[in-house]
Structure 1
Amino acid sequence: MSNQLNPTLESSPVIKRYENNPVLSYKDVPYNAALIFNAGVAKYQGKYVMVFRNDYGSVEERRLDGTNLGLAFSDDGIHWEVQDKPCFDLKDEEILRAYDPRLTVMDGKVYMCFAVDTRHGIRGGIAVTEDFEKFEIISMTVPDNRNMVLFPEKIGGKYVRLERPFPVYGRGGKDRFDIWISDSPDLVYWGNSKLLLGVENVPYANDKIGPGAPPVKTEKGWLTTFHAVDLDPSRGKNGWESAWKKRYCAGIMLLDLEDPSKVIGLCKDPLIAPETDYETVDGFRTNVIFPGGMILEDDGEVKIYYGAADTVECLATAHVDDLIKLCKPVG
């Protein structure tokens, strides 16, 4: 099915969606669940591990009551066994919810970036775990920051992350955000922040862009996904909400291995655009693709996990060489 939105956008021909998508939905969860999406995925201790966002409530009544993070394991990255309770549910008088996890494995531990809604703005957090039962929160940003992802190793002796700040006042009150990069000596204190990629550099985005899955190291550079959003005020009701006028696509770029603040390759077309029924017809917010996990297999296959329509978790694959070829030199 082709996307009927204007302008028409199509997925790259190198992308192959898993034929039995979605790989995870609320029906697979043994506790209260409604929307399962925007998961972080990694390989850890011989298994695939997924931490997924669960907005729980009632699908039948189209009612949402809250958010937690669920945990699932898999032997093949396709068929998932969801654990019997959420693994992360951060709430107190100030924190309203934690969501949108991203997983990075370093030094035998799993680091999880996540977003936090608070009574005083949106913050980004980093936590670490070895067993997914106990999480130690290492750092939290000031408002407003979100979509943080960690690189899987130190670069130039420092930890590095991508992020998407929310400079609403500085951008004239417009919903127009970009991808930034920062580094840290200890995962606690972050600085040396630079603009990595502006929304104006992505031809199919007119609203905002932001990080997707944690970058994957290849011989040619850091293969990096991102989300790109276009807004059309003429779009009406799409999904549960009374009005949803945005479309999210997945994009891909290549960053320099030694200096990842340099974009050395960029695909000027979407990597994955909303096209199937589970991306464009059914769901809380239709026409949304949000990549949150990417795994490079030994045979060169890349598994890309993405939330579809803010409702289900899906899988697409491509060969790493084909993805790199999409990223044309920037200059």
Structure 2
Amino acid sequence: MTVARPPREDPGTMHAPAVATTAIPYALRRSGVLMSPEPGNDAEAEGVINPAAARDDSGEVRLFPRMVATGNFSRIGDARVVVEDGVPTGVERRGVALQPDRIWERGSGHGGTEDPRITWIAELGLHVMTYVAFGPTGPRPAIAVSADLATWRRLGPIQFDYEDALGADLNVYPNKDVVFFPEPIPGPDGVPSFAALHRPMWDLSFVRPDDSAPVPPSVEDPRPSIWISYVPVADVLADIARIVRLGGHRVVAAPAFAWEELKIGAGPAPLRVPEGWLLLHHGVSGRVEGSAFVPQRHVRYCVGAMILDPADPSRVLARSEHPLLEPETADETDGVVANVVFPTAIEEIDGVSYVFYGMADYRIGVAVLERTAQAGEDAAWSR
């Protein structure tokens, strides 16, 4: 395996790079509603949202939605995507993929397995699912793996290595929106690594509601931002359980525009495109009332995109100044949380890339990812 080693600087203060706003040659076009709560099914009484997706050995696209039961208690479901004339139009339910049956997945009053992402990593021959385990201390990222999408092996919560440069232990803080790249990339030291994007939050209000957020002294922008961390390929090939141990933490991007002024987070697994790695992300504007870990009424979620450098994915080459998708339809503006479009999966069907996304924290929508400029057409990409 050959992975080019990029020049790196000492991370020092954890600040996001300067914002690049080169036009992103991609767009999203709505296709329709894919999945809604099943009437009379208490396990879906408060929504089916924010799914992962993957293709099984038979070639069928499988959907793994977050199923929200009464009391905001979540499970990760399993369904087959129904395709008609090459277009995903609905689902066939198959049950539950991951029940919150570990103590670190079950809180008091609120809990569950939430918001999965799945990345097929060919180097491992495994589907790697990252998900939010909402347990006694709030939201923590965890990993499960599967060879066949039928049986999942939990590897446990992610453990972030302590690093002096950060000046804080990331394991102390809640974290969400974790997703792995599908292939090895250069680590900070040039070592071929598996890498994950994630979003630490300097907010302990779930367990210490009267305390202000203890932001690490090295963090320049306290707003929830997209970070990247790594684990050497050799370590994981020797022991798959090592994939939960991530280090080399760096900020990739912080909120930059009005539509994402509160926070940003990674969406589906990064997609390799001619320009680099295409990352769809969500951005949030508005205001948060009370704890950030309870449903909000005055926020707005939109979808944007970034292009990450293939030689160093911690570097943003370009970024959309305006959203690719905003909450506009009734299904996106009216729900458990109004005004939400939340992308979490991309799958190709008959040569078309479809993005699956949460709609107002109640339903699942699907949109077509389209290219709007030919490779090499935009001078900004001539490099």
Q: TM-score, normalised by structure 2?
A: 0.71
Shift of 1:56: 1.6
Q: Cα RMSD (Å) of the superposition?
A: 2.9
Q: Is the 8 A contact 1:28 1:82 kept in 2?
A: no
In the superposition, relative to structure 1, how do residues 132 and 90 fare at CA in structure 2: closer, same or farther (>3 Å)? farther
In the superposition, relative to structure 1, how do residues 32 and 105 fare at CA in structure 2: closer, same or farther (>3 Å)? same
Q: Is the 8 A contact 2:79 2:95 kept in 1?
A: no
Residues 306-315 or 83-92, more deviating = 83-92
- For 2:75, the aligned partner's letter is N
From 214, 222, 228, give the equivalent of 2:269.
Answer: 214
Q: Secondary structure at the match of 1:32?
A: helix
Shift of 1:117: 1.0
Q: Deviations over 1:253-285 (max 9, x none)?
A: 1001121111001110011100001111x3111
Q: How does 1:89-238 map to 2 (within 5 A)?
A: 89-96=99-106, 97-107=112-122, 108-141=125-158, 142=171, 143-156=173-186, 157-168=192-203, 169-171=213-215, 176-185=223-232, 186=236, 187-199=243-255, 201-232=256-287
Could you tell me how far apart the structure 1 residues matched to 2:263 and 2:254 are? 8
Q: Deviations over 1:205-232 (max 9, x none)?
A: 2211111111111121111011100014
Q: Match of 2:162?
A: none
Given the alignment of the two structures, is residue 43 of structure 1 paired with residue 51 of structure 2, yes or no? Answer: no
Q: Is the 8 A contact 2:129 2:143 kept in 1?
A: yes
Could you tell me how far apart the structure 2 residues matched to 1:67 and 1:122 are? 12
Q: Deviations over 1:74-104 (max 9, x none)?
A: 3636134433421111234443111100011
Could you tell me how far apart the structure 1 residues matched to 2:215 and 2:336 are? 28
Q: Match of 2:344?
A: 292
Q: Is the 8 A contact 1:182 1:193 kept in 2?
A: yes
Shift of 1:302: 2.5
Unaligned residue ranges in structure 2 (runs of 5+): 1-24, 107-111, 159-170, 187-191, 204-212, 237-242
In the superposition, relative to structure 1, how do residues 135 and 39 fare at CA in structure 2: closer, same or farther (>3 Å)? same
Could you tell me how far apart the structure 2 residues matched to 1:67 and 1:73 are? 19
- For 1:191, the aligned partner's letter is G
Could you tell me how far apart the structure 1 residues matched to 2:76 and 2:40 are? 11
Could you tell me how far apart the structure 2 residues matched to 1:91 and 1:320 are? 42
Give the length in aligned residue pairs.
299
Could you tell me how far apart the structure 1 residues matched to 2:38 and 2:138 are? 32
Shift of 1:193: 0.7
Could you tell me how far apart the structure 1 residues matched to 2:227 and 2:324 are? 20
Q: Is the 8 A contact 1:216 1:295 kept in 2?
A: no
Q: Match of 1:53?
A: 66
Shift of 1:28: 7.9
Could you tell me how far apart the structure 2 residues matched to 1:297 and 1:322 are? 21
- For 1:124, the aligned partner's letter is P
Q: Is the 8 A contact 1:123 1:144 kept in 2?
A: yes
Q: Is the 8 A contact 1:44 1:105 kept in 2?
A: no
Q: Deviations over 1:287-331 (max 9, x none)?
A: 0110001235674x32111000000000111323559899x77xx
Given the alignment of the two structures, is residue 265 of structure 1 paired with residue 318 of structure 2, yes or no? Answer: yes
Could you tell me how far apart the structure 2 residues matched to 1:170 and 1:230 are? 22
Could you tell me how far apart the structure 2 residues matched to 1:95 and 1:43 are? 26
Given the alignment of the two structures, is residue 278 of structure 1 paired with residue 323 of structure 2, yes or no? Answer: no
Could you tell me how far apart the structure 2 residues matched to 1:65 and 1:265 are? 37
Q: How does 1:77-92 map to 2 (within 5 A)?
A: 78-92=88-102
Q: Match of 1:60?
A: none
Q: Is the 8 A contact 1:39 1:293 kept in 2?
A: yes
Residues 207-216 or 64-73, more deviating = 64-73
Q: Deviations over 1:170-222 (max 9, x none)?
A: 449x98210000111221321011000011x2342221111111111112111
Q: Deviations over 1:111-161 (max 9, x none)?
A: 101001111232101110123332112241334111100111111321011
The runs of at least 4 aligned residues of structure 1 exceeding 6 Å deviation read: 28-31, 323-326
Shift of 1:72: 1.1
Query: Looking at CA atoms only, which structure, 1 or 2, has the larger radius of gyration?
Result: 2
Q: Secondary structure at the match of 1:177?
A: coil
Q: TM-score, normalised by structure 1?
A: 0.81
- For 1:116, the aligned partner's letter is A
Unaligned residue ranges in structure 1 (runs of 5+): 1-11, 58-63
Shift of 1:42: 2.4
- For 2:246, the aligned partner's letter is W
Q: Is the 8 A contact 1:40 1:103 kept in 2?
A: yes
- For 2:198, the aligned partner's letter is E
Could you tell me how far apart the structure 1 residues matched to 2:28 and 2:39 are? 25
Q: Secondary structure at the match of 1:260?
A: strand
Given the alignment of the two structures, is residue 72 of structure 1 paired with residue 79 of structure 2, yes or no? Answer: yes
In the superposition, relative to structure 1, how do residues 13 and 263 fare at CA in structure 2: closer, same or farther (>3 Å)? closer
- For 1:312, the aligned partner's letter is R
